[in-house]
């Protein structure tokens, strides 16, 4: 952190030479001098008093200036707290990781959200939002938050996909450990002999390593469970003796993603959904305050991705490429917003890509300029989406708000979608950290969600597994603990 250089206040100049100063000379010789006039003595006293007052005023002004300038520099460049706040009621750190699915960055301003803004005001916020991993879909991003790994490394490369080795299909109900690579936070916590509790999170139901999805501490997903019940269950964990409270908890809400898909990001339904999420955050805060542990508990509130509007005119049909190349539906593993194609063996992958791009760039395919097709190895490196056999060899990046379909139909659609390039601002979500190690009122630059894993392990003071986050990242966000 740079510090502003303080401007030096010019000193008062010396008084100009005055003939009266000759009267101030002191001679020790015995030469006789006539008595000094009384006016000269008064003038001498006056000058001394004036000089003293002037110097005192200058010193006082300088002190006030430097003090106020230093205080201003401190308040504008550093957090109010320089060290983490000590725990008062709990015997160990506790992190509650809250996800509001599809909470696009900016939704927090759609309506009055006093509870979310209380966390922001007294905590740390990613000033322009949290950056999801690509593809900006629910399962890949939730598992990246939990593992600190990009999808190519944790294995959940889409909400639905096919394993090219054995032909098995993954869906959002697949709980076999073979799909879920890496080490999620609840497993890391269990590896240290500590307790974790998950109230819904993709991957949390998988029995893997030291994590057995224990009864009462691992809820099997059921979207019909009221949000209030989810919050109250998490709060009930704090009714146990301090030593038995889980050190890590997850809490998941489907909204406002559910509404976003149906009506897009700008409908009043989104406003209502955001207000409901804010009420749930308020319920959580109030419950923690009632138990006297709110200031001890770390709450990290995130989303998994953003949302953008889609309408019927924003469509690209693969059948329109037939003049250049046929793309049978059997080749396509996903259409939108991530186009994934796996041709059968015997086809030249580079030839398929070249012919598709030729047709898309011909000007004869409706919205063809809104889709760019790549060999996965040639995707922009910033997407980190090539190092897995599960990723199909041909990937199409779709322009924001557009969708790909096999062929035209009479079906009408105008809703919302996500999954696009994570460089689009509409795909950003929120990050808010509130707790003993988060500075109050601090804004930090946007960062990718793979950094959250190391953030949580640092707060819990446990060693995490290898991941794609940077080990130094927590030092840029968290307050240091005061040495004893």
Q: Which residues are catalytic?
A: 138
**Token pair for 354:** 């070249």
* Cβ–Cβ < 8 Å for 168, 195: no
* Cβ–Cβ < 8 Å for 386, 150: no
Element (H, E) at 162: strand 161-162
* Cβ–Cβ < 8 Å for 402, 370: yes
Give bridge partners of residue 274 from the DSSP assignment. none
Q: Give dist(CA 242, CA 281) in Å, integer.
A: 22
**Token pair for 192:** 């240290």
Angle, CA 95 vertex, CA 94 and CA 97 arms, to 5°: 155
All residues at 6 or more sequence positions from 89 whose CB lies less than 8 Å from its CB, including other chains? 242, 292, 293, 296
What DSSP assignment string belongs to 331-395? Answer: GEEE-SSEEEE-PPTTS-HHHHHHHHHHHHTSS-STTGGGEEEEEGGGS-GGG---S-TTS-SEE
Element (H, E) at 310: strand 308-311
What DSSP assignment string belongs to 33-69? Answer: -PPPPHHHHHHHHHHHHHHHHHHHHHHHHHHHHHHHH
* Cβ–Cβ < 8 Å for 101, 252: yes
Q: In terms of Cα–Cα distance, which of 264, 199, 259, 249 is closest to 227?
A: 199
**Token pair for 340:** 């994934």
DSSP designation for 208: B
In 3-135, alpha helices (H): 38-77, 114-121
Q: Give dist(CA 433, CA 450) in Å, integer.
A: 15
Element (H, E) at 142: helix 138-147
Three-class SS state of 132: coil
* Cis preceding linkage at 160, omega within 30: no
**Token pair for 315:** 């469509």
């Amino acid at each position: 952190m740079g510090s502003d250089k303080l401007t030096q206040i010019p000193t008062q100049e010396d008084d100009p030479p005055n003939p009266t100063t000759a009267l101030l000379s002191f001679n020790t010789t015995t030469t006789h001098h006539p008595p000094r006039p009384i006016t000269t003595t008064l003038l001498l006293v006056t000058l001394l008093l004036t000089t003293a007052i002037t110097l005192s005023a200058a010193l006082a002004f300088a002190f006030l200036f430097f003090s106020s300038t230093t205080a201003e520099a401190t308040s504008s460049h550093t957090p109010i707290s320089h060290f983490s706040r000590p725990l008062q009621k709990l015997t160990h750190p506790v992190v509650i990781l809250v996800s509001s699915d599809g909470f696009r960055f900016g939704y927090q301003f759609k309506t009055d959200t006093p509870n979310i803004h209380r966390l922001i005001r007294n905590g740390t916020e990613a000033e322009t939002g949290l950056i999801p991993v690509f593809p900006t879909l629910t399962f890949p991003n939730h598992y990246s938050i939990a593992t600190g790994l990009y999808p190519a490394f944790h294995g959940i490369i889409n909400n639905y996909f096919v394993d090219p080795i054995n032909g098995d299909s993954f869906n959002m109900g697949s709980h076999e450990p073979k799909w879920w690579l890496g080490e999620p936070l609840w497993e890391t916590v269990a590896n240290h002999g500590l307790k974790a509790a998950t109230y819904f999170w993709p991957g949390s139901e998988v029995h893997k390593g030291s994590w057995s999805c224990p009864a009462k501490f691992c809820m099997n997903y059921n979207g019909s469970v009221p949000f209030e019940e989810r919050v109250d269950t998490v709060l009930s964990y704090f009714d146990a003796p301090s030593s038995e409270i889980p050190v890590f908890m997850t809490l998941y809400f489907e909204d406002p993603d559910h509404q976003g898909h149906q009506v897009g990001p700008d409908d009043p339904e989104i406003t209502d959904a955001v207000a409901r999420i804010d009420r749930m955050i308020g319920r959580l805060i109030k419950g923690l305050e009632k138990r006297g542990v709110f200031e001890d508990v770390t709450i990290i509130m995130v989303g998994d991705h953003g949302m953008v509007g889609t309408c019927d005119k924003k469509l690209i049909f693969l059948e329109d490429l037939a003049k250049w190349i046929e793309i049978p539906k059997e080749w396509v593993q996903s259409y939108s917003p991530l186009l994934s194609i796996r041709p059968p063996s015997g086809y030249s992958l580079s030839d398929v890509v070249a012919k598709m791009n030729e047709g898309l760039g011909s000007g004869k395919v409706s919205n063809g300029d809104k889709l760019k097709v790549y060999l996965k190895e040639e995707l922009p490196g910033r997407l980190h989406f090539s190092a897995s056999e599960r990723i199909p060899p041909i990937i199409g990046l779709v322009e924001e708000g557009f969708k790909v379909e096999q062929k035209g139909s009479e079906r009408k659609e105008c809703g919302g979608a996500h999954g696009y390039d994570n460089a689009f601002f509409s795909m950003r979500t929120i990050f808010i950290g509130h707790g003993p190690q988060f500075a109050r009122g601090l804004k930090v630059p946007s960062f990718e969600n793979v950094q959250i894993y190391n953030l949580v392990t640092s707060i819990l003071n446990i060693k995490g597994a290898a991941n794609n986050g940077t080990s130094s990242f927590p030092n840029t966000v968290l307050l240091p603990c005061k040495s004893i």
